Amino acid sequence: MHFQLDDQTREFRAAVRAHLDEVITPEFEERIYRSGVAHDDDFARGLVAKDMFAPDGRPLHRQVLQDELMYSDAPVYLSETTRMVAAVIDKAGSPELKQKIIPKAMAAELTIALGFTEPECGSDVAAAKTRAVRCGDDWIINGSKMFTTNGHIADYVFLLARTNPDKPKHKGLTMFLVPLDAPGVEAQAVWTLSGERTNITFYSDVRVGDEYRIGGVDEGWSVLHLALEDEHASGWGPHIARLLDHAERWARETTDAAGSPRIDDPDVRRRLARVAIELEVSTLLQRRCVWMAEQGRAPIAEGPMSKLYSTEALVRAAQDINELVGPDALRSRLEPTAPEEGRFEYLMRFSLGTTIYAGTSEVQRNIIAQRGLGLPR
């Protein structure tokens, strides 16, 4: 097992970087940042045109693409959830739903948000109380979902609903693809610490046809796991790489009271080295997941290891660099006097949320303990 990129993969990465450098202009970046919405239709369709939206081929190519998009802070979160749900539909959806959704999803012509978490359930997704009741050939859905990011602009939501309250909580759930323009759907903005807009979504007597059900009735937990395995295998190392690059540039261009570059200070170099080590470990953990995928093996525990380590490493690195830079690091994005255009302050705020996205650190530790180490619940 080795993790070096071959010539073909390096060429693909260079092509991705060139495209992103062309389209992610300072004006584009500022507009996305001010909106708090990590999606842009034209940007997504530009990736499709370059065969960089959902490229076929080796898992390592797909991972390199994700790394470059993440490093550039590209507005792709809604595109990623759309691809993820399309893959689930491909495995568990009806032929009619596959035909209706997958081609348009892969062409960036429709978008799909996630509707798992509920206001009173926290990380216990299986405790969902949103109800779906059969009514002839339709289902009537009532309830609410928290953190439905992009739910105010997406076309559909991949919704977990309880269809049998008499069964154990993991057994009475069903997955639906709910059109977000259906009568009875409402999205209200919720702003995160990083300035991102997410939503609480409400479903009041929302009627959807049975053709929008994904998987069997009361078999939603197994369908949901197809999506969660993908989410849990995420790696956040590229954000550490971006932070490290900004910190190194700051250290080279900033001088101390004696006029010496800050990078000559042993303490500065020590802190940068710590961040570089965190980045290397995060990268290797993520590439192990890619290697397993190439071998046809599911990274059941290894995916959560990658997600857990890289997000907590990002928090540690952001704290370390903010302490290094000092009070100036607290100057925010778009503040003209902020070092590195306020990236240090922003990445500190952003890092804290990553330990919650795609399952909290506590959830990841439970998965590693139970499914990786075989420990009891």
**Domain residue ranges in the chain:** 7-106, 112-218, 233-372
d(CA 189, CA 198): 6
Q: Which fold has domain 7-106?
A: Butyryl-Coa Dehydrogenase, subunit A; domain 1 (1.10.540)
The CATH architecture to which 112-218 belongs is: Beta Barrel (2.40)
| pLDDT band per the 50, 70, 90 thresholds, residue 250 | very high
Phi-psi region of 220 (alpha: psi -120 to 50; beta: other; left: phi over 0): alpha
Residues forming beta bridges with residue 189, ordered by sequence position:
199
Q: Among residues 12, 21, 101, which one has the least CA distance to residue 63?
A: 12
d(CA 335, CA 13): 32
Residue 231 is predicted with a pLDDT of 65
Tokens 């500190």 locate to 348
b/e map 330-356, b = 16+ CB within 10 Å: ebebeeeebbbbbbbbbbbbbbbebbb
pLDDT digits (tens, 9 = 90+) for 30-87: 999 999 999 999 999 999 999 999 887 788 889 999 999 999 999 999 999 999 999 9
Residue 207 — φ and ψ, nearest 5°? -100, 125
* Res. 229: pLDDT tops 80: no
Alpha carbon of residue 321 to chain centroid: 24
Mean of pLDDT over the chain: 94
Residue 358 is predicted with a pLDDT of 83
Residue 158 — φ and ψ, nearest 5°? -85, 100
- The type of residue at 12 is F
Q: What is the DSSP letter of 207?
A: E
pLDDT digits (tens, 9 = 90+) for 85-119: 999 999 999 999 999 999 999 999 999 999 999 99
d(CA 110, CA 9): 29
| pLDDT band per the 50, 70, 90 thresholds, residue 26 | very high
The region of weakest confidence among 16-25, 100-109, 170-179, 231-240 is: 231-240
Q: Is 2 helix (H, G, I), strand (E, B) or coil?
A: coil
Residue 2 is predicted with a pLDDT of 65
pLDDT digits (tens, 9 = 90+) for 151-166: 999 999 999 999 999 9
d(CA 63, CA 71): 12
CATH number of the structural domain 233-372: 1.20.140.10
Residue 232 is predicted with a pLDDT of 59
- Residue 89 in tokens: 């539909």
